[in-house]
Amino acid sequence: MAGYEYVSSEQLAGFDKYKYSAVDTNPLSLYVMHPFWNTIVKVFPTWLAPNLITFSGFLLVVFNFLLLAYFDPDFYASAPGHKHVPGWVWIVVGILNFVAYTLDGVDGKQARRTNSSTPLGELFDHGLDSWACVYFVVTVYSIFGRGSSGVSVFVLYLLLWIVLFSFILSHWEKYNTGVLFLPWGYDISQVTISFVYIVTAIVGVEAWYEPFLFNFLYRDLFTTMIIGCALCVTVPMSLLNFYRSYKNNTLKHSSVYEALVPFFSPCLLFILSTAWILQSPSDILEMHPRVFYFMVGTAFANITCQLIVCQMSNTRCPTLNWLLLPLFLIVMVVNLGVTSYTESILLYSLTTAFTLAHIHYGVRVVKQLSSHFQIYPFSLRKPNSD
């Protein structure tokens, strides 16, 4: 597996023909963030590789996840009667979240500024974004947590899936239309949550116990905003963009089956992971919510990365992802009945396997494309300039 090549020769040929095409109509992005990023990018030296900026932003998101995993391992820290997360942690998380968001906004501008834009850069950016989804959502959960003042781990599981499907919807659009329509929810959520982290440090988590309006709690507002953004903005706009492409005869896939193939693996992942939760003899999600979320998010990221490779190279998306096979087998074993200890071992083993497999996939794809385009992924220096 060490030298396995995930990107086929057909896909490499497709990358050679690739042209970036994206549409951003979000007022917050257009009139506030882009002018801000245009100013910030000038601070970076011209020798700094855009992919290094992208990766640095991703590492900050991972750091936030790990920091709150230390102070709030089981999501009870924000509940009444429990030891709360220190205020300084919320300040750090809020600042780093906004910095990570800023780096994600300026990496493309740095690439154009240094004339170093490549398909690898876009793939690297969006691939890390797909994995960042689970880190971001799970970190936000610590603001409310579970218990009487928060939301249940199963509700958060469903909210995580809403975010994941909202993310993959944009790349499903591009797979079918050839254009990446940037979602409105991303910019709004990043700015809002960064602000909420700082506010939490000032007023304390106790402030979120109080009703927002009448008997409508802040946790209900949090849930409603995620669901409302998906149902009222993300999904309608995605379907509208797809319909416009259909009316203009610019769809890349003529059959309904081929158009929907990218949804097969994520839907099966949802079905299998939900079946595990519902059939679990030891209530696995209640026991290990953070690990279970991470397992699902990592498998989702791998599925999404393969879709991104296909839509950028104009090749067919695989019908099923091989990571679903071990998940299916474990769900079957759990259904037959296992001890709590055995089920925990199965979850941790599967999560480890998914993580290593996804890292291996990412490293190999980056190496393949770097070799193909004759570039260094984290340097502006060309290999033949040594």
Would you say 330 and 295 are in contact if contact means Cβ atoms under 8 Å apart?
Answer: no
**3-state SS class at 86:** coil
Tokens 């501008």 label which residue? 109
pLDDT at residue 198 in the model: 96
Instruction: Please check whether residue 340 is in contact with residue 282, taking contact to mean a CB–CB distance below 8 angstroms.
Output: yes
Question: What pLDDT digit, counting tens, does each position of 90-131 carry?
Answer: 999 999 999 999 999 999 999 999 988 899 999 999 999 999
Q: What is the pLDDT of residue 221?
A: 85
Q: What is the pLDDT of residue 386?
A: 47
Could you tell me the CA-to-CA distances from 111 to 44, 47, 100, 303 in Å, in that order? 11, 11, 17, 26
Q: Which residues contact 93 (CB under 8 A, 6 or more apart)?
A: 64, 67, 68, 139, 197
Element (H, E) at 93: helix 87-113
Indicate the residue type of 232. C
| 57-61 long-range contacts, CB within 8 A, separation 24+ | 57/99, 57/100, 57/101, 57/102, 57/103, 57/104, 57/107, 57/128, 58/100, 58/128, 58/131, 58/132, 60/96, 60/97, 60/99, 60/100, 60/103, 61/96, 61/97, 61/100, 61/132, 61/135, 61/136, 61/139
Both structure tokens of 305: 């990365």
Residue 1 has pLDDT above 80, yes or no: no
Burial 69-86 (b: 16+ CB within 10 A, else e): beebebbbbbbeeeebbe
| Strand extents, DSSP E, 106-148 | none
pLDDT digits (tens, 9 = 90+) for 353-378: 999 999 999 999 999 999 999 888 88
Q: Where are the domains of the chain?
A: 22-373
| pTM, rounded to two decimals | 0.94
In the chain, the amino acid numbered 5 is: E
| Euclidean distance between CA atoms 368 and 363, whole angstroms | 9
pLDDT digits (tens, 9 = 90+) for 271-305: 999 999 999 999 999 999 999 999 999 999 999 99
For residues 328 and 237, the model is more confident at 328
Read out DSSP for 221-263?
Answer: HHHHHHHHHIIIIIHHHHHHHHHHHHHTT--S--SHHHHHGGG
Encoding tokens for residue 223?
Answer: 């849930």
Give pLDDT, residue 219: 83
> Which CATH number is 22-373 given?
1.20.120.1760
Q: Percentage of residues in the chain with pLDDT exceeding 70?
A: 98
Cα distance between residue 239 and residue 247, in whole Å: 12
pLDDT of residue 275: 96
* Rounded-to-integer distance, Cα 88 and Cα 238, Å: 39
Question: CB within 8 A of 181, min separation 6: which ones?
Answer: 22, 23, 25, 170, 173, 174, 237, 238, 241
The whole-angstrom separation of Cα 24 and Cα 182 is: 5
Give CA 201 to chain center in angstroms. 25
Find the helix or strand (DSSP H, E) in which 53 lies. helix 50-71
- 192-233 pLDDT, tens per residue? 999 999 999 999 988 888 888 878 888 888 888 889 888 988
Q: In the beta sheet, which residues pair with residue 217?
A: 211
Give the tokens for residue 152: 């249940």
* Confidence check: pLDDT of 380 > 80: no
Distance, in Å, from the CA atom of 348 to the CA atom of 288, rounded to the nearest integer, reads 9
First-last CA distance in the chain: 30
* Band of residue 384 on the pLDDT scale cut at 50, 70, 90: low
